[in-house]
Structure 1
Amino acid sequence: MDFDVATDDRLTTVDVTDRVAETLPADCVEGVCTVFVRHTTAALVVQENEPRLRGDLESFLSGLVPDEGHAHDELDGNADAHLRATLLGPSATVPIEDGALALGRWQSIFLVECDGPRTRQVSVTVTS
């Protein structure tokens, strides 16, 4: 199952937890859910949905990877986005228990946009 996520900023986070949960098959009681973003300048993470922490994540990534000064920028000016997405990774795996995502109390699934604004395709695969 795939769904699209529209982003509105160059570097931002979008909570996709509910969208992922909606894709779970009704007959799946236990299993594994793998969420994958089909882009090299976006990532997925499991983290707390707290606005200040989300801002901290964006600031951390900006501080860790400078916006400019990379060889790939000569091609299309987005090397920073590729490097930030590489640090985080394109997927997240979450267990399914009792027909629901078995996330911890404070955990949510986020798409991390590193080269927006764009529309991103997210793929969800469930194995039961």
Structure 2
Amino acid sequence: MHIERFSVETDARTTTVDVTGRVREAIPADASGLCTVYVQHTTAGVVVQEAESGLRQDIASFVDGLVPDEGWQHDRIDDNADSHLRAMVLGSAVTIPVDEGEPMLGTWQSVLLVECDGPRTRNVVVTVTGG
């Protein structure tokens, strides 16, 4: 198994960051198997989607609309329950097949970190397993 870690700086409360290049760099050149991209936070998610700028704005707007901003029990603690619930729907990881060091993404597929409670520094773990 091979593990790499990297950090991502986000600049807005809800935004997307294309991390495909960083994921590619984390995969060993001779690797074949499965690559899991995991964000170590409860208020951010990871998705495979097209990285076109308009769609990325649409994703942020869609995520904002998933859950009302207010009225949650957790808000009594740190006023970000909506971010936790949005990230829960997105998921914290994606798994991508890898062949000879290349993630087997489709033509328009990219790996996006989706920030739900920024701006923040997010930690991403890339794990490659298989042989």
Question: TM-score, normalised on structure 2?
Answer: 0.94
CA distance in 2, matches of 1:90, 1:98: 25
SS of alignment partner, residue 53 of structure 1: helix
1:110 and 2:121 matched: no
Contact 2:33/2:129, CA 8 A, preserved across alignment: yes
- Give deviations 1:24-63, integer Å, cap 9, x for gaps: 11221x2110010000000000000111111111111111
Q: Show the counterpart of 1:56.
A: 58
Contact 2:34/2:95, CA 8 A, preserved across alignment: yes
Match of 2:121 among 87, 94, 119: 119
Q: Show the counterpart of 1:94.
A: 96
SS of alignment partner, residue 126 of structure 2: strand
Q: Aligned AA for 2:17?
A: V
CA distance in 2, matches of 1:60, 1:99: 33
Q: Show the counterpart of 2:41.
A: 39
Give unmatched runs, 5+ long, in structure 2.
none
SS of alignment partner, residue 8 of structure 1: coil
Question: TM-score, normalised on structure 1?
Answer: 0.96
Give unmatched runs, 5+ long, in structure 1.
none
CA distance in 1, matches of 2:30, 2:107: 24
SS of alignment partner, residue 19 of structure 1: helix
- Structure 1's consecutive aligned runs of 4 or more residues displaced over 4 angstroms after TM superposition are none
Tell me how many residue pairs correspond in the alignment: 127
